[in-house]
Chains A and B, each alone.
Chain A
Amino acid sequence: MTEFGLRLAISLTQIAAVMGIVVITVLILTLAERKVLGWMQDRMGPMEVGPYGILQPFADAIKLFFKEDIIPAGANKFLFTVAPILCLIPAFIGFAVIPWGPNQTFEINGITVRPFVISDINIGILYILAFASLGAYGIILGGWASNSKYSLLGGLRSAAQIISYELNIGLSIVGVLILSGSLSLVKITDAQAGGFWNWYLFALPAPQIFAFVVYVISSVAETNRVPFDLPEAESELVAGFFTEYSGLRFAFFFLAEYANMVLVSCVAAALFLGGWNAPYPGTIMTLIGLPSLAWVENIMWFAVKTYSFLFLFFWLRATLPRLRYDQLMRFGWKVMLPIALGNIVVTSLAVFFYQQMK
């Protein structure tokens, strides 16, 4: 019983730490996005709250907490309430299988603890994809339950978009899975150790560059970001599926969107960019004689990769206009899908002949 209690305590601590890190990242992202967007458009971004506006996320959070919570007349109250939660939980739950740092263990009272991953399940990436698809329910139900035409249109668009691009994400990942022979993110990351030429983006026998491009584009579409932000296109649909939401429920949707961004960035880093592995073999910490602190460097590399991916999101948003709906669909089905499928074929053949030659 004490062992069970200890395990529970350790797991809960890990979950709380990961949740905390994700929420803090989201807070940083809301500010960073507005700042970066402003800088790219010769503006300053938020400047009023705190020095250079660095306390803006807290001001926003406080505002959202105290706003009136409106449920529109004719809305389906139950679904209207449940939708933001349905959107938020899948966004957060995916972080359970992301390896943040090296695959090392330590023992407390005979219990083996892996500090940098909450749970290494052997179908990790499948689990993330499954829950990411569930997130679409929150958006669709939120759009339907609001009893508003804008929300409904946003929800419908989102349904079509997420289904099309979810497929491309799944197919673009398959190449990596063929190369690594595993669905566990920990194993996939471990297999990419020892320099950037071992990352699956560049790795022989089949560099996954096309798959990476497909993944990046599809993940932007999947998280409903510009230029694929049709579900919430503010110039067409007011705010899309969360037009009628206010206060804390709106904050949930907002949090879910940003958590999804962080999640797809983490997955991209883990699958294509070597996860927590440094772009050179080994670590500098080991070289200077501090091997026990190597995890700091590894986590730093993971953060760098994730944040540069997130920066790409902002950069795209500052640059590109929104696609038309038919363009979005055509691009997803006629361009991305064949590339992803072709990549699977090429990767399979390459891996097969590579193993024949060995």
Chain B
Amino acid sequence: MASMATTKRSNLYEWFKTITFYEILVGMKATLSHLLHYRPVTVQYPHEKRTLPDNYRGMLALLRYDDGTEKCVGCDLCEAACPSRVIRVVSAEVPGEPTKRYSKEYYMDMTRCLFCGMCVDACPVDALGMTREFEWAVYDKRQLHLNKQQLLAIGDRSFPVREKRLELQHPNVAFFNVAFKHVPPKPD
């Protein structure tokens, strides 16, 4: 009997809540409180921009040493590492220096790039870098087919502080960068 009375009372309560639009009023209160305590989460994008994290993976770039020489040694490892075949490297000998190679042509088809950063990881001489540029919307898709000069230009404007050219800087591949004439003798 008692339980019946309670269900009856709770039914009455539910009915009262229904006819007074209680649930709707709770919702309306929530929206009104958001109106009164107005704290927008919007970032007014073109006018204000978020600060991007340091490890942001944006546009790819080719880098130079502080003396202005290209880092790339034309080893093709980035091309091999790329999962979506963005990169095409044409490697060639440095004229007059048979032991040294460089990338004669270097192409990136950025329409396909998925910004995984595996080329950067693969590069033995850190010649590739990922910048924080992302505003690369273009009207013509072909403008995203970048050549070596464009990639170097991106690197120049995004990495103003260049790495110092050190011979033998990378023990495993010291072979690539060495200009034997100028090598100071190794200390014993």
**Chain A residues near B (Cβ < 8 Å):** 36, 38-44, 47, 315-316, 318-320
Contact A319 B24 (CB under 8 A): yes
Task: Find out whether the CB atom of A43 lies under 8 angstroms from the CB atom of B31.
Answer: no
Contacts A319-B24, A320-B24; A42 near B41 (Cβ below 8 A): yes
Known: A40-B31, A319-B30. Contact between A47 and B44, CB under 8 A?
A: yes
* Contacting pair B34 A40 (CB below 8 A): yes
Assess A36 versus B35: contact at CB under 8 Å? Given A319-B28, A320-B24. Answer: yes
Out of B28, B34, B42, name the residue touching A44 (CB < 8 Å). B42
Chain B's interface size range is 10 to 19
Q: Does B35 lie within 8 Å of A40, measured CB to CB?
A: yes
Q: CA of A316 to CA of B28 in the docked complex: distance in angstroms? A: 7
Cβ-Cβ contact count across A and B, 8 Å cutoff? 37
CB <8 Å contact, A42 and B34: yes
Give A315 to B32 CA distance when docked, in angstroms. Answer: 8
Residues of chain B at the chain A interface (Cβ within 8 Å): 24, 27-28, 30-32, 34-35, 38-42, 44
Measured between beta carbons, the chain B residues less than 8 angstroms from A42 are 34, 38-42
Query: Once the chains are docked, how many angstroms separate the CA of A319 from the CA of B38?
Result: 16
- Write the nearest CB–CB distance from A346 to chain B, whole angstroms: 15
A39 to B37, CA, bound (A): 9
Interface of B: prevailing SS: helix
Overall SS of chain A's interface: helix
In the bound complex, what is the Cα–Cα distance between A188 and B175 (angstroms)?
A: 99
A319 to B34, CA, bound (A): 11
Q: Which residues of the other chain, B, contact A315 by a CB distance below 8 angstroms?
A: 28, 31-32
Instruction: Give CA–CA (A40, B30) in the complex, Å.
Output: 9
Enumerate chain A residues within 8 angstroms of B32, measured Cβ to Cβ: 40, 315
Contact yes or no, B40 A318, CB < 8 A: no
Q: How far is the CB of B179 from chain A (nearest CB, A)?
A: 56
Can you name 15 A-B pairs with beta carbons within 8 Å?
A: A36-B35, A39-B34, A39-B40, A41-B34, A42-B39, A42-B42, A43-B40, A43-B42, A44-B40, A44-B42, A47-B44, A315-B32, A318-B31, A319-B30, A319-B31
**Chain B residue with Cβ nearest A47:** B44
Cα–Cα, bound, A44→B40 (Å): 6
A43, B43: Cα distance in complex, Å:
9
Q: For the complex formed, measure the closest distance between the CB of A60 and the CB atoms of chain B, giving whole angstroms.
A: 20
> In the complex, how many angstroms separate the beta carbon of B41 from the nearest chain A beta carbon?
5
Tell me how far the C-beta of A44 lies from the nearest C-beta in chain B, rounded to whole angstroms. 5
| Bound-complex Cα distance A3 to B34 (A) | 57
Contacts of B40 in A (CB 8 A): 38-39, 42-44
A318–B27 CA distance with the chains assembled, in angstroms: 9
Nearest first, the 10 closest Cβ-Cβ pairs linking A and B are: A40-B31, A319-B27, A319-B31, A44-B42, A318-B31, A44-B40, A40-B35, A39-B35, A319-B28, A40-B34
Nearest Cβ in chain B — how far from A309, in angstroms?
15
Query: Given A319-B24, A320-B24, A44–B31 Cβ distance below 8 Å?
Result: no
